[in-house]
Chain A
Amino acid sequence: MRIKNKQDSGILEGDLTPMIDMTFQLIAFFMVLINFTQSEQNEKVKLPSSVLAKPAKAPIEFPITLHLTEDATVVVGGQETSIGGIGPFLIREKNVLEIQGKTTDDATVVIRAHRVAATGRVQELIKACQENSFEKFALRAKEDVGNN
């Protein structure tokens, strides 16, 4: 019987190809799924869920996103204010619309309110927008995929 001679001088080299393959696949996976729309969300707001809250087929043409936290703070454009204090922001938005040759009818106010926020506060927020001629609203909810 022939016995293979062991060569002690050789360096053990692992095959790196499968590992690199997997790593690149993982990178591709995370790159594809990375979410750059953080600006439209706010960590303080936990949306209520609804089975009918399906993502819109077409994006809203001129959205104005208002976040309403549990303690009735409005977060708009990264700044916190009270419900009564959003007037200047809305006037600014109205001016932007006018510059673009549009009216408040073309804009939609997207309200992202916390699930345990008082409904009265949401209504106050809607009223503040109405006073600045905004009348199209979208109440945002999280899609509930759990049950029907």
Chain B
Amino acid sequence: MKLRHSTTSGNDKIELQMTPMIDIVFQLLVFFIMTFKIVSQEGDFNIKMPLAAPAQGTPDELQVETMRVRLEADGTGRLARMSLNDRVLSPLQFDDAGSWVNPDLLRGEIVALIGTDRGPGSIQENAEVELDCDFGLNYAHVIEAITAVSGYVGDDDTVIKLVEKIKFAPPRPVSGG
């Protein structure tokens, strides 16, 4: 019987087939690139709005009158006029995209009303803002107004809170008046 002579020697290298691995790796890469989507961070403004109006109890000493922010829209839904407790705030400035760019106008008035005292039991803690908006007003302006009354970003990127209690006035009719 003829025995096959083994030809293996210690110097032979085992060559891995790289092609299938690279194929798969590239397929994975293409998959992840195609499904990749940059998503910006989102945050919430919390509002608590029970359907029935709260019962009128004994007014707290620190209870400040609800500040009423009126937002009026033009025919296109853009913010046309803003008033705080029936006092018109002007001038409203907008950028090219239609965003309201001078929230200091409203914020300054709010700070003047609630003061700079912070902490438990302060006026700031009890302050409440009611937003009274035209029906057709662009929702972005409501968020801008909520941002202006809620607080601002300080120099060291910390959020300084102002009014935390925000509610909506009953909806206005479709005509906007």
Q: In the complex, how many angstroms separate the beta carbon of A90 from the nearest chain B beta carbon?
A: 13
Pick out which of these stretches binds chain B: A74-82, A93-101, A121-129. A121-129
Pick out which of these stretches binds chain A: B6-14, B47-55, B57-65, B112-120. B47-55
Chain A residue numbers with a CB within 8 Å of B33 are 30
B56 interface residue (CB < 8 Å to A): no
A3 interface residue (CB < 8 Å to B): no
Chain B residue numbers with a CB within 8 Å of A1 are none
Say whether chain A's binding surface is mostly helix, strand, loop, or mixed: mixed
Q: How many residues of B contact A (CB 8 A)?
A: 51
Chain A residue numbers with a CB within 8 Å of B48 are 135-137
Q: In the complex, how many angstroms separate the beta carbon of B8 from the nearest chain A beta carbon?
A: 23
Tell which of A30, A120, A142 touches B42, judged by Cβ atoms closer than 8 Å. Answer: A142
What 0/1 readout, one digit per residue, does chain A (5-33) give for beta carbons within 8 Å of chain B? Answer: 00000000000100010011011001101
Tell me the bound Cα distance from A51 to B50 in angstroms.
27
Tell me the bound Cα distance from A54 to B174 in angstroms.
32
Task: State whether A48 touches B143 (Cβ < 8 A).
Answer: yes
Nearest A residue to B36 by beta-carbon distance? A30
